[in-house]
Amino acid sequence: MINIFYRLGSEIVFAQSETEFARLQRDSVLWIDLLEPSGEEKRATEMFLGTEIQSRAQAEEIESSSRFSESHDAIFANTNFISPESDELVQDPVSFTLVDGILTTLREIPLRSFTSLQRRLLARPAQFKNGYYLFVTIMDQRVDLDADIIELMSKDTAQFSKRINQKEDINEDFLLDINQLQENAMLVRENVVDKQRLISNILKSDRFPEELEGRLSVLLQDISSLINHTNFTFERLEYLQDTVVGLINLDQNNIMKIFTFISLLLMPATLVASFYGMNVKLPIAEYWWAWLAILGLMLMLIIGLWVIFRRKKML
């Protein structure tokens, strides 16, 4: 699927066919958005721009330290966008290509930040002079969405803490839920740091308009605060994880303590019973009341040990 956004007088309109390139002026085009493009759409876009667009496989293979590059006529930027999927977060690579003020984006999944920007672009065309402004706006909206994800993780962390304080459902499944939230926090932090590195490289570029440096600097400050918040959330999750492990260990120790205490209580009585269970002649064994005396002795031993444990505060 392809969406070509271009100026038509004072308005911005869009086309959804690569055949439209033949009638469009290069300086009128602002944004070419490729969503799971076909081979024809991708090749037509490359011919219109006069440069090659990185494929998804190439974007995924690029190391985090090399997600920004420049040629004599284009800027290439790659980053991952996070999307929620059930209890997990998944990331999908998005490639940006900037040629003569035209922004080209390549992605494989629908993204809310792109959809909202498309509506905003059509409603307020005067705000976007060229593709550089669109790129900064996309990054700004993406950082806002990342902030929302971090805020949701903080709320989940607070709920976990509340459940621990109330000793509600503290078990292995609860521990696995905390571990999954830790994985999400690490993924978000990695993703935010990736954007921080990308924007820092863009600020060093001579091709990027100077009037947008202020917005990029503000974005870097926002990202730094998000990184600090993510680090705090991760540390808090580690503390909760240690607390849950400690509570589980305490419960297991209490169970073992009960079993040990019962075994100790019954040990003297078992010893007496084993003596009188032998096939030999023992004292008072020939009397009819012998079983009552033996039973009373066993009960006295059990009660005596219980009193000793209570006095020693071992219960």
The DSSP code for 85 is: E
Q: Is the pLDDT of residue 294 over 80?
A: no
The DSSP code for 86 is: T
> Helix 112-123 and helix 131-165: axis angle, to 10°?
140
Closest among 66, 21, 191 to 4, alpha carbons compared: 21
Give 126's contacts (C-beta < 8 A, 6+ positions apart): 10
Read off the pLDDT of residues 173-203 as tens digits, 9 standing for 90 and up: 777 888 888 888 888 888 888 888 888 888 8
Question: What is the gyration radius of the CA atoms in the chain, in angstroms?
Answer: 35
What is the predicted pLDDT for the residue at 264? 73
Q: Rounded to whole angstroms, how far apart are CA atoms 172 and 276? A: 46
108-116 average pLDDT score: 83
Residue 77, amino acid: A
31-35-38 Cα angle (round to 5): 110
**Which is more confidently placed, 63 or 273?**
273
- Can 2-249 and 250-311 be said to share one CATH topology? no
Q: Identify the three-state secondary structure at position 237.
A: helix
CB 242 within 8 A of CB 163: no
Domain boundaries defined on the chain: 2-249, 250-311
Read off the pLDDT of residues 73-91 as tens digits, 9 standing for 90 and up: 788 888 888 877 777 788 8
Q: Is the pLDDT of residue 276 over 70?
A: no
Is 2-249 a CATH 3.30.460.20 domain?
yes
Read off the pLDDT of residues 207-232 as tens digits, 9 standing for 90 and up: 888 888 888 899 999 999 988 988 88
What is the predicted pLDDT for the residue at 210? 85
Quick one: what percent of the chain has pLDDT higher than 90? Answer: 1
Class level of CATH domain 250-311: mainly alpha
